[in-house]
Structure 1
């Protein structure tokens, strides 16, 4: 029985270590996909350049948030709301932020994206302690 408990405890520790190690990479992935601290508004070619630069050309839609990382991380402290996938770890920004939506308009011969600059509240999913953004769920 003691051996079984030791094995289960070891597996639990291993899972926790893997999850802890995954959190920074998820946060870094969010930053790569959705953060751009430069100020807009941006011209017609912004999305084409950013989607190529960030290696996001397989995506048909993407949103870049133009705010500091601290401002976006602060959204994680807002009350929880339900995400589109049914999870309850999303948060909506209290204030509107500058964002740019990139919408794929043509895939071939080379991808072309429409650039739409606007202000909106962002909705992000956060995990960890302290919580960090890991998924952009939408905007309103």
Structure 2
């Protein structure tokens, strides 16, 4: 008798087929980027610390020292890979516009996150016109 339970390979294949059927580009790396860095509209929380604790645990990003959430639409972020960005190194693009972001920093003593919201330009790595890796922020004063 075969094993029962989730079949990750089948789910991955199904997701790829659905993306191709929709006619849009699909990238597992872009999916992971969105899971780890995109939150639009920004999830409600009482303050930035509560927001970070909620998002990091909810998205299962455990014990990562620092993580940045970008509060913008996928289209606006992916546009950095073309007309909305300028080259910033090999496969890296810097946004021309500022984005609303929240940076979450892990405190190992309290096992919780501290959050700081701001506006900044961002640098991402792109693959086939899609954001696949968050590199860094460029503060408004830079």
1:119 corresponds to = 119
8 Å contact from structure 1 (residues 41, 117) kept in 2: no
Structure 1 residue runs of 4+, over 3 Å off? Answer: 39-42
Consecutive unaligned residues in structure 2, runs of 5 or more: 1-25
User: Do 1:103 and 1:114's aligned partners in 2 also have CA atoms closer than 8 Å?
Assistant: yes
Report the TM-score, using the length of structure 1 for normalisation: 0.72
- Counterpart of 1:27 in structure 2 is 30
Q: TM-score if structure 2 supplies the norm length?
A: 0.71
* Conserved? CA contact 2:101–2:120, under 8 Å: yes
Q: Which structure would you say has the larger Rg?
A: 1
Among 31, 38, 46, the alignment partner of 2:41 is 38
Give the deviation of 1:46 after TM superposition: 0.4
Structure 1: gaps of 5 or more residues: 1-22, 83-87
In the alignment of these two chains, the number of paired residues is: 109
Following the alignment from structure 1 to structure 2, what is the Cα–Cα distance between the partners of residues 106 and 115?
A: 14
**Deviation at residue 107 of structure 1 after TM alignment:** 5.3
The equivalences for 1:9-28 within 5 A come to 24-28=27-31
Decide which of 132, 135, 138 is 1:134's aligned counterpart: 132
Contact kept? 2:63, 2:106, Cα under 8 Å: no
Structure 1 residue 57: Cα displacement: 1.2
